[in-house]
Structure 1
Amino acid sequence: MILIRDIEYQEIVTKSAIQIENGTDYQILWNKHTIENCWFNYKQIKIPSNTLIALNPNDVFHLPDGAQKLYRISFNQPKEESIKSFFNTAFCNQVNEFYSLFKIKNKEIVNEVDHIVRQIKLSFFNTKNTPYFKTHYLLNLVICLLHAKFLDTVDLKVTQFKKLFSFEEKETHFVKYYGNQLNTPPKELLRQFTKKGYNKPSAIINNFIVLEAQKKLMASSLSVKEIGFELGFDDPAYFSRFFKKYAGISAMEFKKNHKQLLININNESIGK
């Protein structure tokens, strides 16, 4: 029997800006109302009402100033190999984006998510409920997430492509590596992505390498050179040019700008 441990429930009611740094847990946020000017993995976005937000470990999510209410369920990745792939698929970022959020358009699914979140909430106040009860409702919530996701991204090959991302070795920077893993020639991958309206596979790879670099810049004390080495770049100068090309600014400018963003968020919170 599957048991997911350390499931936690929290209602986030904000009257000032807050930051959620995911750390080692997975999290699902259920947002009922439109939120303007969020920052998700260093990109400014608008989140519509009735949206499920999937946070992977080390994702960064900033809520703006203003009264907001979200429901947050966090948990550790299950140990059972049989279900790891299920969760990895659900939490894999959207193909063209740096984050996972899915608008629920079907009213019946909205009602189902509301019901599941209520049941998870009640389970924390009812001592008779076992950990398996919480696991049951969490799995149902992830199924709703998958349902919303595959209405948006129905191509399994594309999802498998994203799940393979790992940039420690230089060979993983190239489409050929992923084509070999998926038994699909690079030209065929390009054709499939173009047909679905996605970016080129090479562009997606490069953008996600930069995202990994951004996370490391903000979450560690590593130098730009050291981060480049961790991501498979032998030449620090080339890595610096690569980062600036795809991020639009240098690595040090990025770190300075987003440190200031965090300072502003903290100051807003203290000011309240």
Structure 2
Amino acid sequence: MQQQLIFEDHYKKLGLEIFSEENLAAVNGNTFRYDIKILFIPEGYELTVDFNHYKVSKPSLFFLTSQHLKIEKGKEESMLLYYNRDFYCIQIHDKEVACDGLLFHNIFEIPFVELDYVETAVIKSLFQNIKDELEWKDSSVEEMIRTYVKQIIIRATRNWKKQHLHNDTIKIPGSELDIFRDFSRYLEIHFREKHHVAAYAELLHIAPKTLTHKFKNLNLESPNQLIINRILLEAKRLLFYTDKPVKEIAYDLGYEDPAYFNRLFTHKTGNTPSNFKKNYSSGKKYNT
């Protein structure tokens, strides 16, 4: 039986799961639902993240927090690194490589980065180092592992920017990046109670019109639409993965009037909440 690869100290926790086709059940389900997750996925895998389906054609890293994950098929050995915010969340040190930086909860809804041959070797080596530390159980294991996690996130962030910020669809000047990253972070924290652009503009210390213009100038969806998208995503998760009634979901998402929530959901998705729950079968298909 394989040794459990996990570090726990008071509130801090980090673990590593190694899986392949034989034991996909080890990572599917709700075991890691509330952990921050970094998955190394070789080519040939298929997985669904929330309502989006991915076919992995190059080795990739996926960065997930509260999304629903289901790995459907894949042969080669894969790795899941999972941890909580008490173990690693360096927002106070460097927002870009924090647990809610560019890779997690980005407004572009791109939760992965592809790896070339060299990067694949480096990332696999960093995962192996973490595995070695978890097996070694030395007194310095926590700090050593944290340095490896940081290296994974820094390397992935560089690659994510290279792949997604300098192409034909997303062009964001470096000086503007903080606004979009911080908006993404605040949205993830506050979407249940803050439903208006003005609330996020206030957190960002800019005028609502300025925030809206920044998104418009870069041909991005408006902040208002992104707020609605995030609320609708959570609504879909609750409808599909729980047995909560629509009225309770509306209250959970900050709507005191369930009828208003019902109209909003129906207008934006073309489906009533109850019809979505009954009829949803598959999400968008993506190749990575």
Q: TM-score, normalised by structure 2?
A: 0.75
* TM-superposition CA deviations, 1:92-150 (whole Å, max 9, x none): 323132x5212235x54333212211211222333446232222212222222332334
Alignment partner, residue 76 of structure 1: 84
The match for 2:6 is none
- Aligned equivalent of 1:168: 192
Determine the structure 2 residue equivalent to 1:193. 215
State the AA in 2 paired with 1:54.
F
d(CA) in 2 for partners of 1:144, 1:43: 25
Q: Is the CA contact 1:15–1:68 (under 8 Å) kept in the aligned structure 2?
A: no
| Cross-structure match for 1:60 | 68
Using the TM superposition, give the Cα deviation of residue 179 of structure 1 relative to its aligned residue in structure 2, in angstroms.
1.6
SS in 2 for 1:173: coil
Residues 1:46 and 2:39 are matched in the alignment: no
Per-residue Cα deviation, 1:149-189 (whole angstroms, up to 9, x for no partner): 343355211111111111332xx222222122212223322
Report the Cα distance in structure 1 between the residues aligned to 2:15 and 2:24, rounded to whole angstroms: 22
1:269 is matched with: none
State the one-letter code of the partner of 1:40.
V
Task: Give the direction of change, closer, same or farther, for the CA distance of 1:184–1:83 in structure 2 (3 Å limit).
Answer: closer
The range that moved more, 178-187 or 124-133, is 124-133
1:58-110 residue CA offsets vs partner (Å, 9 max, x unmatched): 3111222453542111111126885465222255323132x5212235x5433
State the partner residue of 2:200: 178
Report matched runs for 1:94-105 at 5 Å: 94-97=106-109, 100-104=111-115
Letter of the structure 1 residue corresponding to residue 61 of structure 2: L
Moved over 4 A (4+): 15-18, 79-85
Paired residues for 1:77-156 under 5 Å: 77-78=85-86, 83=91, 86-97=98-109, 100-104=111-115, 108-128=118-138, 130-151=141-162, 152-153=164-165, 155-156=177-178
Question: SS at the partner of 1:118?
Answer: helix
Identity of aligned residues (%): 20
1:244 equivalent in alignment to 2:269: no
**Structure 2: segments with no counterpart, 5+ residues:** 1-8, 166-173, 283-288
- What is the aligned-residue RMSD (CA, Å)? 2.9
How many residues align? The count is 252
1:93 corresponds to which letter in structure 2? H
- CA distance in 1 between counterparts of 2:90 and 2:68 reads 28
Cα distance in 1 for residues equivalent to 2:257 and 2:105: 29
Decide whether aligned partners of structure 1 residues 17 and 243 sit closer, same or farther in structure 2, where only a CA change above 3 A counts: farther
1:224 aligned to 2:246? yes
3-state SS of paired residue (2:135): coil
TM-score, normalised to structure 1's length? Answer: 0.79
The question of 1:7 aligning with 2:31 is answered: no
Aligned equivalents of 1:70 and 1:244: distance in 2? 39
Letter in 1 for 2:119: I
Please state how far the C-alpha of 1:20 moved relative to its aligned partner.
4.6
- CA, structure 1 residues 237+75, in 2 after alignment: closer, same or farther (shift >3 Å)? same
Q: CA deviation at 1:13?
A: 0.4
Match of 1:32 among 28, 42, 48: 42
C-alpha distance in structure 2 between counterparts of 1:79 and 1:125, whole Å: 18
1:30, 1:53 within 8 Å by CA — same for their partners in 2?
yes
Secondary structure of 2:148's aligned partner: helix
